[in-house]
Amino acid sequence: MDELRKLMDQAADGSTRTVSYYFTRVGRAVKKLDGPPVTMPSRATFYRLFNRLEAGRHTTGSARTRRSLASQPDGAFDRTAVCRPGELMEIDATPFDVLVRLDNGVVDRCELVGMVDVATRSITAAVLRPTTKSVDAALLLARSVTPAPMRPGWPEALRMEHSLRLHRHPGGTLPGQAKYLHQRTGGSISSLSHLIRAAAISAIIDGSERISRRLLDSVPVDHSTQSDNPAPSDDEDDGIGDAA
């Protein structure tokens, strides 16, 4: 038994062998043992013993699966009891079953990586990444322990333009169109929100991925605002251009 287990452990990083090979190797090993002679069981009995010890180890199966199983860490013997927030945090990643456009313009699936507080079962931080890397664990930890108002760039992120997810839209162009946007919306925040949101949707649909002055002109606002505040002429365009 001990010799067979030893050979099975050694097979984790070696080539795949047959049961007959192990029968021969064990027979040679027991002949070299000190003390009284050891009688080898019959081949059929040895095969039944081998199958019982080999269950789940893939000793005579796939070498790749065998190496993968051998490299796995030992599991915990019992469950860890936690009662305080932050005492035990777990990180998990799962494929996001939605096609997204990555930063390089390629449409592909990404992974949702999250950190969960075991005690409260709350998600303290989560990010979407094309491929999960070790740096994402550090990012999740930083976001979990740093309140949002204390993160760099938080005040700027509250601006409406920063909520747009348009890959070709240059930041800072909408504030430069303050006069035009005020005339189009009559100073109404709700009309302004509708105008920018509708322009962003149109930019995604037509593939331009940017809000231009021409696109803003094509988006109607509510009737009262449109009739009381006609759109400025093209001569007043001092911000967003239409060049690609």
Question: Is residue 49 scored above 60 in pLDDT?
Answer: yes
93-112 residue pLDDT tens: 888 888 888 778 888 888 88
Which of 211, 206, 130, 214 lies closest to 168 in space, CA to CA? 211
> Could you tell me which residue, 203 or 25, shows the higher pLDDT?
203
Between CA 155 and CA 148 the distance in angstroms is 10
Q: Mean pLDDT over residues 213-221, rounded?
A: 87
pLDDT for residue 83? 85
| Strand 107-117 with 89-101, pairing | antiparallel
Question: Is residue 223 scored above 50 in pLDDT?
Answer: no
Between CA 192 and CA 219 the distance in angstroms is 11
Question: Is residue 20 scored above 70 in pLDDT?
Answer: yes
Question: Is residue 86 scored above 60 in pLDDT?
Answer: yes
Domain boundary assignment for the chain: 2-70, 89-148, 160-236
* Distance from chain centroid for Cα 181: 38
CA atoms within a 13 Å half-sphere pointing along the CA-CB vector of 45 = 5
95-98 long-range contacts (CB < 8 A, ≥24 apart) are 96/128
Q: Do 132 and 93 touch, CB atoms closer than 8 A?
A: yes
Distances (CA, A) of 166 to 103, 112, 190, 210: 10, 21, 21, 6
Q: How confident is the model at residue 229 (pLDDT cuts 50, 70, 90)?
A: low
Residue 243's CB: how many other CB atoms inside 10 A? 6
Instruction: Enter the pTM of the model.
Output: 0.36
Q: How confident is the model at residue 238 (pLDDT cuts 50, 70, 90)?
A: very low
DSSP state letter for 166 = -
Q: How confident is the model at residue 74 (pLDDT cuts 50, 70, 90)?
A: low
Q: How confident is the model at residue 78 (pLDDT cuts 50, 70, 90)?
A: low
182-207 residue pLDDT tens: 788 877 777 887 888 888 888 888 88
Q: Do 204 and 231 touch, CB atoms closer than 8 A?
A: no
Question: Is residue 120 scored above 80 in pLDDT?
Answer: yes
Which of 110, 109, 18 lies closest to 61 in space, CA to CA? 18
